[in-house]
Chains A and B, each alone.
Chain A
Amino acid sequence: MSDDAKTRTPAIEGWFRMDEADPALLGTRCTRCKTYYFPKESSFCRNPRCSGSEFEEVPLSRRGKLWSFTNNCYAPPLPYVAPDPFEPYAIAAVELAEEQMVVLGQVVKGVGVEDLKAGMEMELVLGTLYEDDDKEYVVWNWRPVA
């Protein structure tokens, strides 16, 4: 790395733990019915049989099973910030056992749909979504467990 390495900053505040060694999605959990939410719900519980309105922030499981996957072969429109030339990337839908929910995420660079298979174990890592002159904007990625 050169001295002018860019600052890494989350592309969105509060959605994940910005810890390269131990990242995690940050959700909330209703203190009454224990339902998980990602992105965070912090006003009223969306379980129609729960009147809860208090939530605790919780890190979600870092590992899950691949439910399905696909990719973008063409650059999405704004507000996606696409590199030029565009590089295709995969998107994974991963089932978290503890939370009993499926969460989407981009797959790490270098892993394509040909490397993926439903049921594979996936883990959460951090990756660069886009960059400008000063900063690298970071987002969560899914990566097959080696």
Chain B
Amino acid sequence: MADEVAVLGVGMHPWGKWGRNFVEYGVAAARDALADAGLEWSDVQFVAGGDTMRNGYPGYVAAATFAQALGWNGAQVASAYGACATGAQAVATARAQILAGLCDVALVVGADAAPKGFFAPTGGDRPDDPDWLRFHLLGATNPIYFGLYARRRMEAFGATELDFAKVKVKNSQHGYTNPNARYKKTFTIDDVFASPMVSDPLRLLQICATSDGGAAIVLSSMEYARKRTTDPVRVAAVSTVTPQFPQTIIEMPNFSTDSAVSEPIPDTPFKDSIAQVAYEQAGLGPEDLSLAEVYDLSSALELDWYENIGLCNPGDAEKLLNDGDTTIGGRIPVNPSGGLGCFGEAVPAQAIAQVCEVTWHLRGDAGDRQVEGANVGLTINQGLFGHGSSVILKK
């Protein structure tokens, strides 16, 4: 089991399309997290920033950008990028600094200001970049990959478009009163089916939008936390594993999978391994979870995650959904925040926002979406180029 660090404070700037600079969202979230922790900015010894790739140089050096905006205080900084796992990589960096005894208090911040519409690759003529090439030669947007996974679920397990729509409806019912959510509206099955098809079988309302937003957390050593509070939420695991060769599931932004002719296919597929490593670190298993925040880049992907994190066997996710097990009030609520379906994705902030949400539930502070008696929560996500992350928090 891994040693633990404490979550002393969490904060978010609401998700939306605000049209302002990403730094503002990050600083607002950081100030909220510091206030929540009862700490001053001057108490922070280390800043871990989640980078954004869409806001120029300040986005590539996010930790320093946020530190400067908060007012230089001499803290050490590190900026991380890991696609959708960016925020968790920043959490991992801060946690490692604390566990190594190099600092007592660390601030983790991620924020983004996202363009409208499809994410596109970096500009220019760059035929050596697979992310550029997949757009140029295939027109393979992110929803194309989500569509391939969704259709595979239908073909392999008999999932239906109705099942996928029900995920969207559930998450909208979870998140419509969440003050930090972008889409504060409940959707019906009819609404989903009336929205235009984007990448068959996925419709517009089932695909994650791109959002502005910011999230921050204050982490500290357990020793430091015990001087301030009796029962802090603890980080029990942070997994940021990469795939094992051969990776036989097609992944963004690739044209092909690895070839499996020379080596056996790993026993544990990549997305399963992200959770498995987190469970091993925490000394916990899926049966211990009170809730999970999973990356519903599409409504269909949420169902894949149920299986990847061990809530059920492959092919049984639709039953779990339809039995109400993953609805608030059910056996294991998934995405009580409303998920990406209610937020849209603010890439470097999203994995941090997942940690904020779980923390609120473990503290009993989640308001009318509270999962009663929550003791343990898991977050998980996956991004392009072999990135993924999972964080386990417990009381």
Interface residues of chain A, those whose CB is within 8 Å of chain B, are 11-12, 15, 30, 33-39, 46-50, 67-82, 89, 91, 93, 99-106, 113, 117-119, 129, 139
Q: How far is the CB of B311 from chain A (nearest CB, A)?
A: 23
Residue from B121, B123, B245, B256 within 8 A of A38 (CB atoms): B256
Using Cβ atoms and an 8 Å threshold, which residues of chain B touch A12? 127, 133, 136-137
Given A68-B148, A73-B198: A101 and B258 interface contact (C-beta under 8 Å): yes
CB distance from B144 to the nearest CB of A (A): 6
B267 at the A interface (CB under 8 A):
no
Does B151 reach chain A (CB closer than 8 Å)? yes
Judge if B72 is at the interface, Cβ distance under 8 Å: no
User: Looking at the complex, which one of B117, B148, B200, B261 makes contact with A77 (CB distance below 8 Å)?
Assistant: B117
Instruction: Provide 28 A-B residue pairs closer than 8 Å at the C-beta atoms, listed in order of the A residue.
Output: A12-B133, A33-B262, A36-B261, A38-B256, A39-B255, A48-B245, A67-B250, A70-B143, A70-B150, A72-B139, A76-B141, A77-B118, A78-B120, A78-B123, A91-B148, A93-B148, A99-B261, A100-B261, A101-B260, A102-B257, A104-B254, A104-B255, A104-B256, A106-B138, A113-B151, A118-B152, A129-B137, A139-B137
Structural contact, A37 and B259, CB atoms closer than 8 A? yes
- In the complex, the answer to whether A34 meets B117 with C-beta atoms within 8 Å is no
B197 within 8 Å of A by Cβ? Answer: yes
Tell me the minimal C-beta distance from A30 to chain B in angstroms: 8
Among B143, B156, B257, B258, residue most surrounded by chain A Cβ atoms (within 10 Å): B257
A76/B118 contact (C-beta < 8 A), A35-B262, A93-B250, A104-B250 known: yes
| Chain B: interface residue total (CB-CB under 8 A) | 48
Q: Which residues of chain B have a CB within 8 Å of any CB of chain A?
A: 117-118, 120-121, 123, 125, 127, 130, 132-133, 135-141, 143-144, 147-152, 155-156, 196-202, 245-246, 248, 250, 254-263
Q: Do B138 and A79 touch (CB < 8 A)?
A: no
Main secondary structure of the interface of A (DSSP, over half): loop
Complex contacts, B150 vs chain A, CB 8 Å: 70
Are B261 and A34 within 8 A (Cβ)?
yes
Bound CA–CA A33/B121 (angstroms): 33
* Cβ contact within 8 Å between A77 and B135: yes
Using Cβ atoms and an 8 Å threshold, which residues of chain B touch A117? 155
Q: Is the CB of B260 within 8 A of A70?
A: no
Contact for A100 among B201, B245, B259, CB less than 8 A? B259
Minimal Cβ-Cβ distance residue in B for A129: B137
A73 to B144, CA, bound (A): 10
Q: How many angstroms between the C-alpha atoms of A101 and B261 in the bound complex?
A: 9
A104 CA to B252 CA, complexed, in Å: 11
* Complex interface: chain B residues within 8 A of A129 (CB): 137
Q: Assess whether B138 is in contact with A50, with CB atoms less than 8 Å apart.
A: no
Identity of the chain B residue whose Cβ is nearest the Cβ of A92 in the assembled complex: B148
| CB atoms of B135 and A47 under 8 A apart | no
Cβ distance B161 to chain A, nearest Cβ, rounded Å: 12
- B243 CB to closest chain A CB, in angstroms? 11
* Known contacts A70-B199, A118-B156; A80 and B139 CB within 8 A of each other: yes
Closest beta carbon of chain B to A145's beta carbon, Å: 18
In the assembled complex, the Cα of A93 lies from the Cα of B198 at a distance in Å of: 18
Chain A residues closer than 8 Å to B139, beta-carbon distance: 72, 75-76, 80, 82, 89, 91, 106
**Docked-complex contact B127 and A34, CB < 8 angstroms:** no
Please pick, from A48, A69, A73, the residue contacting B151 in the complex, using a CB distance under 8 A. Answer: A69
CA distance A55 to B263 in the complex (A): 17
Docked Cα-Cα span, A89 to B199, in Å, equals 10
Residue of B nearest to A106 (CB): B138
